[in-house]
Structure 1
Amino acid sequence: MTKAGDSAAISHVGKIRSNNQDSGYAGTHLFVVADGMGGHAGGDVASAIALQRIMQADAEFTSAQDAEAALQTAISSANAELAETVFEHPELGGMGTTVDAIVAVGDEVAIAHIGDSRIYLLRDGELSQITTDHTFVQRLVDSGRITEEEAMVHPRRSVLMRVLGDVDSNPEIDTMVMRTHPGDRWLLCSDGLSGVVDKDAIQVTLAQDLPARQVGEQLIRKALDGGAPDNVTVVIYDVGAERSATAQTPVTVGSASRPLAFQNDPPKRTGLLPSLRLHGRSTPSGPSHFEPASDDYLDELIEEDARRAKRRRLTWLVGSIVLVLAIALGLLLGYAWTQTRYFVGADDNTVVIYQGIQQDIGPFSLSSEHNDTGIPISMLSTYDRQQVERTISASSLEEAQEIVSRLRTTTSKDDG
């Protein structure tokens, strides 16, 4: 059995958001990240409610399978509590949250995941992504429609297909049990980190032989250096390391660390929660990166993505053709200009007027023989012969012919 390791939980509002809708928890056995959504009025409430319910699973279990079942129950209960909260406070309609959780049990961990927050494992210097994003673009990646690099910048990269909230009364939650090794370093993070800092940079940072909190602070800094357009939350759990004094007490960060303001307001509705409400979706009071996962909606998004890909290919093709034509036109105009120039030079024995310029592009010459004057090189004075051999430039054919006439006159005088 491995010893409980060092841990840390850190959250930052980022550089653009006005409030922190993330929640994080590093406890005795439980580690959680929740990324809320639903605009200013609901995202922070959703992640806080979910985390406060899931924190009840921070207990010592006899097996990882028991911990896995407890996580499943806690997350499902959190989903029901979110739906009831929306029923009593309709202004929070459309709010939801992702959840990633780990419970450490001996030399195993139980894992639960829903949404696009992520769990990574650094083992022997190699970083692996343990969870799979429940997003529209991940489905496109899985189906081979786009690459992982394209998914990073896809306009629909924030559309979630699975999430906790008031939409689905029984959301599908991914759970698993994995064995841990001494020296393993687990990272749970919101997409405020994974959407800004690439996997290689995360791996290099996690691989440092530093306490969990220092590593977490460096990851937050990297996200901020990358612009941090979203809230950033990281939770780190080290297996087999000595637990630091500051990590002995469970730590809660983000919106769950503050009182929920709406709890002081009287409920807008009373009575039992209608089951129909669990399957609907009210209009959120602010922007949300959650959209329902119905088959019709998914088909619509796929068709839209196909149209976008077709437009992108057409734009690329047209742009390429225009670029090639522009380059070809530039070359033609450049070549046409060179053919307005002349120079006087020498072949093996005589003076020759050449059309073009003394320049080659690869195997192509930009000059050609226009007229062999028949004037022997040997009949020129030493000075004129040197000038001709070095070539004499002319701006026109007339100027080149005047140069040749001068050379011919000089040659005749020398003969006389």
Structure 2
Amino acid sequence: MVFQGSSTAISHTGKVRSNNQDSGYSGSNLFVVADGMGGHAGGDVASSLAITRLERLDQPYETTSEAELALRDAISDAAVELIDTVHVRPELAGMGTTVSALIMVDDYAVIAHIGDSRIYLFRDGTLTQITTDHTFVQRLVDSGRITPEEARYHPRRSVLMRVLGDMDPDPELDTFIMPTQPGDRWLLCSDGLSGVVDDPHTSKALGLGLAPGRTADNLLKQALDAGAPDNVTIVIVDVGGQHPVFSGTPTIVGSASNPVGVEVPAAAPRRSSWLHPNRQAANEPTHYEPAAGFLEELIEEDRRRSRRRRIGWITGLVLVLVIITGVLWIGYQWTQTRYFVGTDEDTVVIYRGVQQSIGPISLSTPYEDTEIPLTSLSEFARSTVEQTISASSLTDARRIVSSISDTAEGGG
């Protein structure tokens, strides 16, 4: 049965990249986002090849199992085609692409996924991420080493652990089948959107009830306003709903919309990398498929980074404590150059320090008991001394005491 609903697909280069390596497809039953990687030409070719191979699946299916098998076979065929392409064009070695695909079959969504592009379901006002990122940081999140919020800003957040590439003819895919219902809104997107627009803002945009095209434009604007450091590709699929059902020519966006397709002019050979022979460096490398055992190396690097961060915090804390202690010590030493005249229980006393305290710590100590009885002072003099009299120096304090002593003698 032909899917009943409406959809849209848009793709944008973003504000930093020089070309668009993403591809997107929105058809009658099939919807796909592919995020290419592997340099200026390689990423274009990889995502375009994936879309070209998958678009043949845009047809009604009798069963969900038939659609799931078709997705698996088509993506495996795309992997073989990538490998064959590299044999002919060795300068493209190391290219790859994510694939997040969805086929509507009756009241079900058949999903295939590899990489870090995402599929979300917006239902009854709640946004749910359906696919799991095949990234290094997602494994750190799954193992409890970091939080999802820390993953958004982790320096290795774009390292892919699984990808449709030119090294594995049998890629490890996630495929599953989910029931869907009228009113559901499905979002497929590259990490150019999910990496800069958080889930609450995405949910708000999807919940406004605008047509798929206007909703996609809204999300793209948010990504561009946030700087759009990567290509942004968005496919929105509404199941039933209030908006008109669109049919006819499928919408193909991004690299796959290039009329010449994968026939990109040959690039000059580049220096090989340690991860892949003849792998060319991307303009701004943010994705790559690690070699076997690379995960443990990255985890160990993350542990080292965490240890360095803890050492940095501890060093900084110790430094702050040393500075605070030094300031307090210098301040205390200054107080010990000051004097004032006060009393103890029954005599006039010269104190060293100032008349303040820090909590239970007094900043003054008795320096010299003058042995002048308080009872020998006039009421005014006694009151003045009890309130303390500041002195500029020890000599000044003794002068004040002498004056008080004269008063006492005069009163006697």
- TM-score tier by shorter-chain length is 0.7 to 0.9
* Contact 2:14–2:224 (Cα < 8 Å) also in 1: yes
The one-letter code of the counterpart of 2:282 is G
How far apart, CA to CA, are the structure 2 residues paired with 1:348 and 1:197? 71
How far apart, CA to CA, are the structure 2 residues paired with 1:48 and 1:407? 99
Match of 2:305 in 1: 308
Match of 1:195 in 2: 195
**1:239-388 matched pairs, under 5 angstroms:** 239-244=239-244, 250-260=250-260, 263=263, 281-287=277-283, 288-345=285-342, 351-373=348-370, 374=372, 376=374, 379-380=377-378, 382=380, 388=385
The one-letter code of the counterpart of 1:361 is I
Displacement of 1:72: 1.4
How far apart, CA to CA, are the structure 1 residues paired with 2:276 and 2:240? 46
Match of 2:84 in 1: 84
How far apart, CA to CA, are the structure 1 residues paired with 2:48 and 2:88? 17
Displacement of 1:349: 6.3
* Contact 1:89–1:267 (Cα < 8 Å) also in 2: no
Count of paired positions: 404
Instruction: Using the aligned pairs only, state the percent identity.
Output: 56
Seen in structure 2, the aligned counterparts of structure 1 residues 352 and 158 have a Cα distance that, compared at 3 Å, is: same
* Contact 1:12–1:231 (Cα < 8 Å) also in 2: yes
Match of 1:44 in 2: 44
- Does the residue aligned with 1:139 lie in a helix, a strand or coil? helix
Do structure 1's residue 401 and structure 2's residue 409 form an aligned pair? no
Displacement of 1:212: 2.5
Which shows bigger deviation, 333-342 or 113-122? 333-342
Do structure 1's residue 108 and structure 2's residue 108 form an aligned pair? yes
* Contact 2:2–2:28 (Cα < 8 Å) also in 1: no
Instruction: Give CA deviations for 1:318-343 in whole Å, capped at 9, x if unaligned.
Output: 33333333322332223222333333
**1:209-228 matched pairs, under 5 angstroms:** 209-228=209-228
Displacement of 1:140: 2.5
Displacement of 1:175: 0.5
How far apart, CA to CA, are the structure 2 residues paired with 1:56 and 1:185? 24
Is there any run of 5+ residues in structure 1 with no aligned partner, and where? 269-278
Displacement of 1:172: 0.9
- Does the residue aligned with 2:33 lie in a helix, a strand or coil? strand
The one-letter code of the counterpart of 2:94 is G
The one-letter code of the counterpart of 1:376 is L
Seen in structure 2, the aligned counterparts of structure 1 residues 264 and 116 have a Cα distance that, compared at 3 Å, is: closer
Seen in structure 2, the aligned counterparts of structure 1 residues 404 and 299 have a Cα distance that, compared at 3 Å, is: same
Do structure 1's residue 169 and structure 2's residue 169 form an aligned pair? yes
Displacement of 1:228: 2.0
Match of 1:155 in 2: 155
Seen in structure 2, the aligned counterparts of structure 1 residues 2 and 259 have a Cα distance that, compared at 3 Å, is: closer
How far apart, CA to CA, are the structure 1 residues paired with 2:340 and 2:14? 67
The one-letter code of the counterpart of 2:323 is A
Match of 1:54 in 2: 54
Displacement of 1:157: 1.9
Seen in structure 2, the aligned counterparts of structure 1 residues 331 and 266 have a Cα distance that, compared at 3 Å, is: closer
Displacement of 1:55: 1.7
How far apart, CA to CA, are the structure 2 residues paired with 1:225 and 1:387? 69
The one-letter code of the counterpart of 1:367 is S
The one-letter code of the counterpart of 1:299 is E
Displacement of 1:133: 1.2
How far apart, CA to CA, are the structure 1 residues paired with 2:402 and 2:164? 93
How far apart, CA to CA, are the structure 2 residues paired with 1:260 and 1:367? 87
Which shows bigger deviation, 164-173 or 137-146? 137-146
Displacement of 1:17: 0.8
The TM-score with structure 2 as length reference comes to 0.86
Seen in structure 2, the aligned counterparts of structure 1 residues 251 and 398 have a Cα distance that, compared at 3 Å, is: farther
* Contact 1:91–1:285 (Cα < 8 Å) also in 2: no
Instruction: Give CA deviations for 1:54-102 in whole Å, capped at 9, x if unaligned.
Output: 1221212222222222221222222222222222222222111101111
* Contact 2:161–2:290 (Cα < 8 Å) also in 1: yes
How far apart, CA to CA, are the structure 2 residues paired with 1:3 and 1:265? 38
Displacement of 1:8: 2.5
- Does the residue aligned with 2:39 lie in a helix, a strand or coil? coil
Match of 2:64 in 1: 64
- Does the residue aligned with 2:5 lie in a helix, a strand or coil? coil
Seen in structure 2, the aligned counterparts of structure 1 residues 177 and 335 have a Cα distance that, compared at 3 Å, is: same
How far apart, CA to CA, are the structure 2 residues paired with 1:282 and 1:79? 18
* Contact 2:5–2:246 (Cα < 8 Å) also in 1: no
Which shows bigger deviation, 179-188 or 141-150? 141-150
The TM-score with structure 1 as length reference comes to 0.85
How far apart, CA to CA, are the structure 2 residues paired with 1:214 and 1:358? 71
Seen in structure 2, the aligned counterparts of structure 1 residues 230 and 266 have a Cα distance that, compared at 3 Å, is: closer
Displacement of 1:19: 0.9
